[in-house]
Structure 1
Amino acid sequence: MILLTELHYHPPAALFAELLRADSILLEAHEHYRKQTFRNRCLIRTAQGVQPLTVPVIDGNRAEKVSVSEIEIDYRQNWIHRHWRTLQTAYGNSPYFEFYADYLHDIYVSKPALLFDLNQQFLRLLLRCFRITLPLHLTTEYHAHYPATSCPPALLPSYPIIDRRDWLTPKAATKMPEPDTPAASGLVRPYPQVFGPGFEPGLSVLDLLFSQGPAAGRYLQ
């Protein structure tokens, strides 16, 4: 199948469970940007509970009228320092944080101008971390309902398109899944998290990666 999805900032682990079943990835590059989504935020678990990390964008009030591939990151705010310090505090003692930290940090300090580029660099890194080797393509135009005839030529071999755009949202817990859509909470098996008690679903895939390292894929169903 071809998995159609928007780009996220350190997406929830459930996305990677879906990617394990996919033959190719199709990234939505022509939608209008939407605020208060995983496009510019992720959820991690700290000693104080679940906490969002949000990448600030320029002209946030008008951002929803701008193509997602043109959204600029606001580096006037010292968000890189805040995010990195929070990740270090939350996961510095986890088994595999140091193993992946330098790769992540290199992307942060490169300061891509566009949110789309930042998210794409992180996605490519995370795919390597999970040893997922899939062709990655961008949409050529926006369709509310994506027709197979609009596939990029390289995708034309007859894989069905599974539309997972806006399937994962910070408010997903209050949203009933569509009949043909798997519940994200059931796609990630509970694993030992740094902070407890209990298992917190819906966190960024970084939480799983820092906890389980090369074995992280075993927890994706």
Structure 2
Amino acid sequence: MPSVLLESQYHPPAAFFAELLGADALWLEAHDNYRKQTYRNRCLILTAQGVQPLTVPVVDGNRSEKVLTSAIEIDYRQNWVHRHWRTLQTAYGGTPYFEYYADYLHDIYVQKPLLLFDLNLLLIRFYLRCLRLRLPIHLTAEYASPLSPAFVSPLAPDSVRDRRDWLTPKDLAPPGPDRKSVRPYPQSFGKDFVPGLSILDLLFMQGPAAGSFLA
């Protein structure tokens, strides 16, 4: 199966990882321009009040000129780490596996990476281990299509499936025929299964068995 090209995401949706099943490698786009209101700096979790976004504030994310996502700095002047952690504790503290993963996630937060891209990379590497997805991560050398020379590498396969900006926080609808998702699993709140949530939701509910729900 070809490798998969995705943008870096903050606590990506479970579908991000379902797309990696059987892939040779994960390519992360390191040269895209930062875009607001995407999974680059936000995730969706399930709370008693319904679906709630968690957004990482960034420095100069609203400026008009283009800036690379890999150069975007996290704004630690805002106490967002504390807010995110408290929200996760409130939403998932009673789930079967919150304590199982809490210390690992907390250790990532306290590192306080300067760049959003670096935080996302730490989280994605952690989730790959949790889901037992053993595949290498490569970073693009320049912004280009998957067939460009930017992807020529001794480590790269002949083809790369381009899934950049394939998932958006605005789309919680069930996946179309070309989109992978996860099998429904019991969630903390509500009677109907809510798709499109962060991988956190699946991990906290299913723990080491989470990978088996990637369809």
**TM-score, structure 2 length as denominator?**
0.94
Change over 3 Å in CA distance of 1:208–1:175 after alignment to 2: closer
2:123 match: 122
Count of residues in correspondence between the two structures: 214
1:198 match: 192
**Deviation digits for residues 1-49 of structure 1, max 9, x if unmatched?**
1100000000000111111121101100001111100000000000000
**Structure 1 runs of 4+ off > 4 angstroms?**
173-177
Contact 1:35–1:63 (Cα < 8 Å) also in 2: no
**Deviation digits for residues 170-193 of structure 1, max 9, x if unmatched?**
12347996xxx7234xx2110000
2:6 match: 5
1:112 match: 113
Q: What amino acid maps onto 2:25 in structure 1?
A: S
Change over 3 Å in CA distance of 1:122–1:152 after alignment to 2: farther
Aligned equivalents of 1:18, 1:175: Cα separation in 2 = 15
Aligned equivalents of 1:19, 1:29: Cα separation in 2 = 18
Q: Secondary structure at the match of 1:62?
A: coil
Aligned equivalents of 2:65, 2:108: Cα separation in 1 = 25
Aligned equivalents of 2:197, 2:172: Cα separation in 1 = 12
Deviation (angstroms), 1:66: 0.7
Contact 2:12–2:39 (Cα < 8 Å) also in 1: yes
What are the residue-to-residue correspondences of 1:54-133 with 2, within 5 Å?
54-62=55-63, 65-133=66-134
2:209 equivalent among 199, 215, 219: 215
Report the RMSD for the aligned CA atoms in angstroms.
1.8
**Percent of paired sites with the same residue:** 66
Contact 1:63–1:71 (Cα < 8 Å) also in 2: no
Aligned equivalents of 2:206, 2:175: Cα separation in 1 = 30
Q: Secondary structure at the match of 1:65?
A: coil
2:138 match: 137
Aligned equivalents of 1:10, 1:64: Cα separation in 2 = 27
1:183 equivalent among 167, 179, 182: 179
**Deviation digits for residues 125-149 of structure 1, max 9, x if unmatched?**
1111111110110000001x33153
Change over 3 Å in CA distance of 1:108–1:35 after alignment to 2: same
Q: Secondary structure at the match of 2:169?
A: coil
Aligned equivalents of 1:157, 1:12: Cα separation in 2 = 25
Contact 2:10–2:120 (Cα < 8 Å) also in 1: yes
Q: Secondary structure at the match of 1:19?
A: coil
Aligned equivalents of 1:129, 1:175: Cα separation in 2 = 25
Deviation (angstroms), 1:61: 1.1
Q: What amino acid maps onto 2:155 in structure 1?
A: L
Contact 2:172–2:195 (Cα < 8 Å) also in 1: no
**Deviation digits for residues 58-117 of structure 1, max 9, x if unmatched?**
012117611111000000000000000000000000000000000000010110000000
2:162 match: 163
Change over 3 Å in CA distance of 1:89–1:79 after alignment to 2: same
